[in-house]
Amino acid sequence: MENNNIYPIFDRMMTRADKENLLGQHSVMVWFTGLSGSGKSTVAIALERELHQRGILCRILDGDNIRSGINNNLGFSEADRVENIRRIAEVAKLFVDTGIVTIAAFISPSNDIREMAADIIGKDDFVEVYVSTPIEECERRDVKGLYAKARRGEIKNFTGISASFEAPEHPSLTLDTSVLSLEDSVHRLLELILPRIQKK
């Protein structure tokens, strides 16, 4: 006699809770925003390494791995910037739903664009970190000369020069890397997110 109920839940995908239990961690989205050269990627990479050492599975999303792949058909117009962040947020949501601590480092220059990302990912999972390093320091660090090119008009729509940047209204954490050391920045991040990530 055929039994159609041997595997009654095979038509249901595993849940986020299933994944988090497997990994022994809670997932969260840590979204770094700030000007080019502010230190977003540097702090994000240091955070990833620190969490990895603690046995926490992470994934960094930044311009290098997004613009060269899934978003390689986008430019830097206003519409393309919005679509860039929309796609990033959709990808990030998949990682968060898989139980992975996801770290994004993108200029994401407006409150509206970051609000869109938070809505896609889920506001309860969205930790906004504003890397508030002053533009003067960002320009001083600029090894690629992007700010100089932007000031000469060679790069259009460059955030902070020919395109505006809106500081977050209510970030979860603000880090000025012209004042804080890398170690101090990571320590403050850990204080903020470890209680959310670690399973009781």
Token output for 183: 């170690």
Helix, strand or coil, per DSSP, at residue 129? strand
| 23/7 Cα distance (integer angstroms) | 24
The active-site residue out of 27, 108, 132, 185 is 108
Q: Is 35 annotated as a binding residue?
A: yes
Q: What is the dihedral of CA 178, 184, 189, 191, to 10 degrees?
A: -150
The dihedral through the CA atoms of 111, 89, 104, 106 has a sign that is negative
Secondary-structure percent of the chain, ordered helix, strand, coil, rounded to 5: 45, 15, 40
Whether 108 sits among the annotated catalytic residues: the reply is yes
| 180/20 Cα distance (integer angstroms) | 33
Q: Is 34 annotated as a binding residue?
A: yes
Cα distance between the two ends of the chain: 46
Q: Is 69 annotated as a binding residue?
A: no
Q: Is 40 annotated as a binding residue?
A: yes
Q: Is 38 annotated as a binding residue?
A: yes
Cβ neighbour number for residue 178 with a 10 Å cutoff: 15
Q: Is 153 annotated as a binding residue?
A: no
Q: Is 63 annotated as a binding residue?
A: no
Q: Rounded to the nearest 5°, which phi and psi values hold at 127?
A: -110, 110
| 112/177 Cα distance (integer angstroms) | 25
Token output for 185: 């920045």
Residues annotated as binding site for ATP? 34-41
Residues identified as active-site: 108
